[in-house]
Structure 1
């Protein structure tokens, strides 16, 4: 197949490719060598996608034509520097999506740049399509951290348009791949979630079949009894699961297992992409859903209404920053500074019940609780004079009273 290159080809000597070992990046390695006559170094980010995806990946990259393959373990960095502050802020995109793909991109792209600088590369490359959000996320990071690097995006340059085109391209070069033309779904997995797109999901009227979900059991097949989980936080940092001290990475692994067994964390959403189109995807975030609900339950106990609303506003703003690939910006720094102040009170334990896809807060306690049984009780108390409410209501409704006097109420 002839590969056209419409733009003027920049001079590139060495390029670092974000490599997954899948069909796209397997084809990109020889394409880069042929198109740019350059050395290709594969960069693999381990963000918890699983041993199955990483097994044999270095050998695969070298057989495709890469001169070297760097596999970088980013799991702890991903959890501690991206997931944890996002959860402190209560980040959620369009009321459902816990940003599993978006959260991983800053740490992946940053590490790719670091490898490029270490090996003296003059270019970086990604396999994102021209329709998605990830191209913006990767390239915005490249621009913020190493604007001198040339960015190569093959899907915006080559004339291949289908999986079959890529398979033919590799076959012509005798490069083996485990991919096939019958693959239905496009998936992205990391320690936080797995996403599913394509197949029957491209019609929003179609319900996802059982073949879509790969991480969790269906709520219908989940156990018939509630599983109780205790989460303990210190200033918004997850420190214990069921009383056992854990790192945040260990805690996430444990919560993923618990949540998946009870079918929690599944969503089916039609979301607004940054590039202007809508896309339909199914996401599984079992551990993340538990983590998120735990902090929300604790927040209700320790924050007053202004703080709670501010935290929700900050969470929405930070979700947009993450979704739009603007992590390496002053806006993100400012948002996280404010989030850190509010997170100081997010200390305590929340008890959650997992049952057939649902997460219910069963109990919560904190040294910073603002709840007072003495004030809230329906029984007799000595701290709240109910007659004082009359003056409060009169002042609170004063503007309505004045408007009615001036304009007339019901006639």
Structure 2
């Protein structure tokens, strides 16, 4: 390991650390005190990762050397102000990834800055590695919200390169940890999803084992009988599940439970990280998959061709904005505003059939629907004169006609 005896140039008195209680951040607390001689304030965000990950967290942070630990409940705000707006954009990164980790980072960073201001900290710190996207997402948010606060990223400073190194360091500081050198997977969970990396997944030729998946039932083991789930949207926000009014967070909890039981929402992808390398990950997003399918089903009813095409362009661009950690930027605000203008039309009910890993829209209705059975029918009608199509086609294909005439000359 690197000799950390050399005192860093940065003079820090009090730092707020984004703390999860995992091996990395458990080691960062004493490391900051050893190498910066500063007070460490631990901060943890409850974004729906589950009670198991938060239980005993404050005691653990104090035991590792933190002077305080702030746990902030962000679940409802996360779903209402970050997840729902992202759904209205239709953002899906590289055709598959529903941006679960990406969406949580700006709200966590925002709350971390708020804590730093509250306790009078003069620096921020995180446990992101120098290979990943999260370092960019956190520090991009810090730059926008608190450019005066320097950021300490231990993984870019220390020489510890393995779990064994971190465990040895904690042992040398008499800091207890439940982590072990045999941990296989790296996981990140919140209300929207859980991600899995590492282990056999590092080789794209290896199929994920059953041990990878922790949230959803294997589609092969899912019920042999389909289940119908009804969802209701009001101006882009999902308000009811199976006729029951629920808060944004509880909507997601309900759909996660229903979707997970049918193996909905599993993906296995190789994605392009922002830092240039490719990474392989498995993601489980059962409730989110249902919500995205239902939302798009209503969009297909209420948006005309040009509007829907533009919304698709918004989704493509916004996926990169969110993935790249550019939430607190002008382009983010502009894209969300554009998507929200379309979302005002997205009201209605959708019924989705869940079966063996699939979520299929089977019914949809909206008071703003542009669909008219009178016009679309294959039977006889009195509202559409098919002979009118001839003039439209001649005008629509006029440029092709002129091009051919030019070639004949």
TM band (smaller chain): over 0.9
Contact 2:7 2:36 in 1 (8 A): no
- TM-score, with structure 1 as normaliser: 0.98
Give distance in 2, aligned partners of 1:166 and 1:192. Answer: 30
User: 1 CA distance for matches of 2:186 and 2:256?
Assistant: 21
Native 8 Å contact 2:8 2:35 kept in 1: no
Give the TM-score normalised by structure 2: 0.98
Structure 1 segments (4+ residues) deviating >2 Å = 1-9
SS at match of 2:164: helix
Do 1:116 and 1:124's aligned partners in 2 also have CA atoms closer than 8 Å? yes
| Secondary structure in 2 matching 1:69 | strand
Matched with 2:290 is 290
- 1:214 maps onto 2:214 in alignment: yes
Q: Map 1:91-102 to 2 at 5 A.
A: 91-102=91-102
Given that residues 5 and 158 in structure 1 are in contact (C-alpha distance below 8 angstroms), is that contact kept between their aligned partners in structure 2?
A: no
Which structure 2 residues correspond to residues 304-323 of structure 1 after superposition, within 5 A?
A: 304-323=304-323
Does the 8 Å CA contact 1:185/1:199 hold for their aligned counterparts?
A: yes
Which residue does 1:381 correspond to in 2?
381
Uncovered stretches (5+) of structure 1, i.e. residues with no partner: none
Where 2:213 maps in the other structure, the secondary structure is coil
Contact 1:39-1:67 at 8 Å conserved across structures: yes
Report the counterpart of residue 352 of structure 2 in structure 1: 352
Whether 1:83 and 2:78 are equivalent positions in the alignment is no
Q: Equivalent residue for 1:391?
A: 391
How large is the RMSD of aligned CA atoms in angstroms? 1.2
For 1:305-327, what per-residue CA distance to the aligned partner results, in whole angstroms no more than 9, with x for missing partners? 11111111111211111111110
CA distance in 2, matches of 1:182, 1:4: 26
Q: How far does the alpha carbon of each residue in 1:99-141 deviate from its partner, in whole angstroms, 9 at most, with x for none?
A: 0000000000000000001000000100000000000000011
DSSP-derived class of the 1:228 partner: strand
Equivalent residues of 2:348, 2:364 under 8 A apart? yes
CA shift for structure 1 position 335: 1.1
1:6, 1:157 within 8 Å by CA — same for their partners in 2?
Answer: no
Contact 1:45 1:108 in 2 (8 A): yes
Residues 348-371 of structure 1: per-residue CA shift (max 9 Å, x gap): 001100011111010100000000
Do the aligned partners of 1:5 and 1:157 also contact (CA within 8 Å) in 2?
A: no
TM superposition shift of 1:9: 2.6
CA deviations on 1:273-322 (whole Å, 9 max, x unpaired) are: 10011100000000000000000111111111111111111112111111
Give SS of 2:352's match. Answer: strand
String of CA shifts for 1:38-87, please: whole Å, max 9, x gaps. Answer: 00010011001111111111000000000000000010110011000000
Q: Name the structure 2 match of 1:45.
A: 45
Deviation at 1:29, TM superposition (A): 0.3
Q: Secondary structure at the match of 1:212?
A: coil
Q: What stretches of structure 2 of length at least 5 have no aligned partner? A: none
